[in-house]
C-alpha cells in the first residue's frame, strides 16, 4: 500500500514530458532572418539555434514549449532591444519546457504603463527556464534587469549574470518580483545594479528560493529587499557583500548559510568571475568555495567550474556563477591531446530526503563532447521496492522516449512540483536511467552508463 500511495501522489502531480518527438532545429539567420521569425515557425519541442551576432529586435515566446539558445554561448550572441521596450517577454503561460539559454540580453527599456515592466526580461504568469544568460545594461522604472510577476510565475533562473542594470528612481535594479511570484534563483551573479531600493532583488508580496548566488557591489540600495513579511523568499547560502545600501532591507532576514565576505573574483580565459583558488594557482582561497547548498551533482554543477584551471565543481557546491561545459573546452595555445568523444545521459535530483513543502525537481541531463548529433532510446523508470513504472507514460509496460543527443548540454525536466503531505515514510526509492542506440536494448548498444538517483520522504505524522 505504501508504494501505491506514493506512486498515486506522484502521478497526480506529474508534468507532461517534453514533446521532443520529431523535434526540429531551426537556425537563425540561416533558416529565418530573425529570432522572432524562428520562434513563430517553431513547434513544441523545437530548438531555435541562434548563430553568433547581434540581433536588433525584441522577442516574445508566444507560449511555446521551445528552446531558444545561442550556438556559440552568450558573449557573442546578443539581442539588443535598442531601448524600445522589454527585450524578451514570457506572458503566455510558458512552462518549464520553455527555455532561454546562452544569450546576452541588453539595451531594453521599460517605460509607460505599466511602468514596472522589466527592461531586459518580462515574465508574467509563466515559468520558463532561463540559464546561461547575461542580462546587462537594461533600464526601467522598476525591474531593470528582469520583472517576474504573478501567482503562477515560477521560473528557474540559473547560471546567469545580471549586471549593471538601472531602475530609474524605482525598485529592483537586478530583479523586481511582485504579486506572488515564486522564482527559483540558483548559482547566479547579481552584480553592480542600481535602484532606489533592493538593487539586487526586490520582493513585493512574493516568495520563492534564492540559493548559492553572489549578490554584490550594488551601487545604491540593498542586496535583497523584502517589502513585507507576509510572503518572502527563503534564502540559502548566498554571498551578499558590499552593497551600498547594506546586505538586506525591509523585512528581509538572513538566510541559512548566507555569508558576507569578498568573493575574491579573479579573471580567467572566459571571464572575470572565477573564484580565487589556491589549487588553481592563485595565492588566496575564496570563501565561496565549498560553501554552497546541495551537492554539485544534484544541481548539474559537476560539469561546470568556478576555477581558472577549469577543474569541475564536484561534491560540495561553490557559491556563485559557474562557467559552462563548452567554455571549459575553449582551445588554448598549448597543444594537447584531443579527448575521446563521449556521451552521457543521467538523472539529477535536487535533494535526497523530502518533507512536505519541499520542491521536488528531477531532470534528465543529456551531454556529449562529440561534434555529431545522434538519436537515442531513453529509458527512465521509477523503482518503488521492486515495483517499476516507465517514463513517459508511467505505466508498468516497458516504454521509452526517442530523443536526440545534442552537441551541447540539454536539461529536460521530468518532475517539478511541491512535495505533498503523505501519511507514510519511505527510503531507498530510485529513479533509473539508461540510453541505448535506437531499436536496441542490450548492453552492447548502451550509450553512456546506467545510472540512478535515490531518495526518500518523511511524514509529519
Residues 43 and 178 in one domain: yes
The string of pLDDT tens digits covering residues 421-435 is 877 788 889 999 999
Residues 32 and 152 in one domain: yes
Identify the domain boundary among 260, 281, 303. Answer: 260
Mean pLDDT over 47-63 rounds to 95
The string of pLDDT tens digits covering residues 86-101 is 999 999 999 988 999 9
Neighbour order of strands in the sheet with 104-106: 53-56, 77-80, 104-106, 134-136, 161-163, 189-191, 214-216, 239-241
Mean pLDDT over 212-228 rounds to 89
Q: Please indicate, yes or no, if residue 393 is contained in any of the structural domains.
A: yes
Whether residue 331 is predicted with pLDDT greater than 80 in this model: the reply is: no
415 confidence band (pLDDT: 50, 70, 90): confident
Label residue 132 left, alpha or beta by phi (over 0 means left) and psi (-120 to 50 means alpha): left
Neighbour-count burial for 389-413, b at 16+ CB within 10 Å, e otherwise = bbbbebeeeeebbebbbbebbbbbb
Residues 349 and 255 in one domain: no
20 confidence band (pLDDT: 50, 70, 90): very low
Nearest to 226 by CA among 267, 260, 254, 265: 254
Give me the pLDDT at residue 208, please. Answer: 92
- Better-predicted residue by pLDDT, 100 or 328: 100
Cell of 93: 503561460
- Better-predicted residue by pLDDT, 270 or 223: 223
Q: Please indicate, yes or no, if residue 227 is contained in any of the structural domains.
A: yes
Identify the domain boundary among 217, 239, 260. Answer: 260
Question: What residues pair up with 344 in beta bridges, in sequence order?
Answer: 367
Q: Please indicate, yes or no, if residue 381 is contained in any of the structural domains.
A: yes
Ordered DSSP codes for 232-260: --EEES-EEE--TT-SEEET--PPBT-B-
Cell 523530502, located at residue? 354
Give me the pLDDT at residue 418, please. Answer: 85
Q: Please indicate, yes or no, if residue 213 is contained in any of the structural domains.
A: yes
Average pLDDT of the chain is 85
Q: Please indicate, yes or no, if residue 43 is contained in any of the structural domains.
A: yes
Residues 210 and 352 in one domain: no
Mean pLDDT over 278-300 rounds to 92
Mean pLDDT over 129-138 rounds to 94
Q: Please indicate, yes or no, if residue 312 is contained in any of the structural domains.
A: no
Give me the pLDDT at residue 113, please. Answer: 54
Give me the pLDDT at residue 373, please. Answer: 77
What CATH number does the domain containing 96 carry? 2.160.20.10
Give me the pLDDT at residue 346, please. Answer: 82
The string of pLDDT tens digits covering residues 116-131 is 578 999 999 999 999 9
Distance CA 282, CA 47 (A): 40
Is the Cβ–Cβ distance between 363 and 380 less than 8 Å? no
What CATH number does the domain containing 445 carry? 2.60.40.1460
Mean pLDDT over 1-6 rounds to 42
411 confidence band (pLDDT: 50, 70, 90): confident
Whether residue 335 is predicted with pLDDT greater than 60 in this model: the reply is: no
Give me the pLDDT at residue 408, please. Answer: 61
Distance CA 146, CA 168 (A): 14
Identify the domain boundary among 260, 289, 309. Answer: 260
Q: Please indicate, yes or no, if residue 151 is contained in any of the structural domains.
A: yes
CB count within 10 Å of CB 208 equals 25
Cell of 273: 568571475
Is the Cβ–Cβ distance between 181 and 148 less than 8 Å? yes
Cell of 258: 548566507
Give me the pLDDT at residue 405, please. Answer: 81
Residues 379 and 232 in one domain: no
Residues 231 and 370 in one domain: no
Q: Which domain holds residue 420?
A: 343-457
Mean pLDDT over 374-379 rounds to 90
Q: Please indicate, yes or no, if residue 284 is contained in any of the structural domains.
A: no
Domain count, the chain: 2
Residues 373 and 251 in one domain: no
Give me the pLDDT at residue 77, please. Answer: 95
Distance CA 436, CA 448 (A): 8
Cell of 73: 554561448
Whether residue 9 is predicted with pLDDT greater than 70 in this model: the reply is: no
Amino acid at each position: 500500500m505504501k508504494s501505491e500511495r506514493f506512486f498515486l501522489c506522484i502521478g497526480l502531480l506529474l508534468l507532461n514530458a517534453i514533446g521532443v518527438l520529431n523535434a526540429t532545429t531551426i537556425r537563425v539567420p540561416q533558416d529565418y532572418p530573425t529570432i522572432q521569425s524562428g520562434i513563430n515557425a517553431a513547434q513544441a519541442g523545437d530548438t531555435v539555434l541562434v548563430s553568433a551576432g547581434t540581433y536588433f529586435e525584441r522577442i516574445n515566446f508566444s507560449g511555446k514549449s521551445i528552446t531558444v539558445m545561442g550556438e556559440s554561448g552568450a558573449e557573442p550572441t546578443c539581442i539588443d532591444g535598442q531601448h524600445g521596450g522589454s527585450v524578451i517577454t514570457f506572458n503566455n503561460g510558458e512552462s518549464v519546457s520553455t527555455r532561454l539559454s546562452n544569450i546576452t540580453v541588453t539595451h531594453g527599456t521599460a517605460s509607460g504603463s505599466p511602468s514596472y515592466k522589466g527592461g531586459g526580461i518580462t515574465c508574467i504568469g509563466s515559468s520558463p527556464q532561463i540559464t546561461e544568460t547575461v542580462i546587462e545594461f537594461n533600464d526601467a522604472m522598476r525591474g531593470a534587469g528582469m520583472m517576474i510577476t504573478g501567482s503562477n510565475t515560477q521560473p528557474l533562473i540559473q547560471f546567469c549574470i545580471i549586471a549593471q542594470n538601472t531602475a530609474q528612481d524605482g525598485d529592483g535594479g537586478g530583479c523586481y518580483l511582485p504579486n506572488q511570484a515564486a522564482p527559483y534563483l540558483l548559482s547566479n551573479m547579481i552584480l553592480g545594479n542600481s535602484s532606489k531600493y533592493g538593487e539586487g532583488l526586490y520582493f513585493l508580496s512574493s516568495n520563492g528560493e534564492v540559493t548559492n548566488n553572489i549578490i554584490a557591489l550594488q551601487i545604491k540600495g540593498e542586496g535583497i529587499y523584502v517589502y513585507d513579511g507576509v510572503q518572502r523568499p527563503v534564502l540559502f547560502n548566498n554571498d551578499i557583500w558590499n552593497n551600498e545600501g547594506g546586505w538586506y532591507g525591509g523585512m528581509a532576514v538572513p538566510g541559512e548559510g548566507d555569508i558576507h565576505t569578498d568573493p575574491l573574483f579573479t579573471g580567467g580565459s572566459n571571464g572575470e568571475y572565477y573564484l580565487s583558488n589556491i589549487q588553481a594557482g592563485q595565492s588566496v582561497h575564496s570563501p565561496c568555495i565549498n560553501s554552497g547548498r546541495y551537492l554539485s551533482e544534484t544541481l548539474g554543477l559537476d560539469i561546470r567550474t568556478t576555477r581558472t584551471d577549469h577543474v569541475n565543481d564536484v561534491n560540495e557546491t561553490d557559491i556563485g556563477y559557474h562557467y559552462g561545459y563548452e567554455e571549459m573546452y575553449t582551445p588554448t595555445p598549448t597543444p594537447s591531446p584531443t579527448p575521446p568523444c563521449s556521451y552521457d545521459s543521467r538523472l539529477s535530483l535536487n535533494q535526497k530526503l523530502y518533507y512536505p513543502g519541499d520542491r521536488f525537481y528531477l531532470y534528465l541531463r543529456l551531454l556529449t563532447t562529440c561534434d555529431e548529433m545522434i538519436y537515442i532510446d531513453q529509458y527512465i523508470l521509477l523503482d518503488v521496492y521492486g515495483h517499476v513504472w516507465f517514463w513517459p507514460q508511467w505505466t508498468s509496460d516497458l516504454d521509452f522516449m526517442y530523443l536526440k543527443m545534442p552537441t551541447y548540454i540539454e536539461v529536460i525536466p521530468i518532475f517539478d512540483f511541491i512535495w505533498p503531505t503523505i501519511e507514510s515514510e519511505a527510503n531507498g526509492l530510485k529513479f533509473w536511467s539508461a540510453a541505448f542506440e535506437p531499436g536496441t536494448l542490450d548492453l552492447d548498444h548502451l550509450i553512456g552508463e546506467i545510472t540512478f538517483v535515490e531518495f526518500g520522504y518523511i511524514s509529519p505524522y
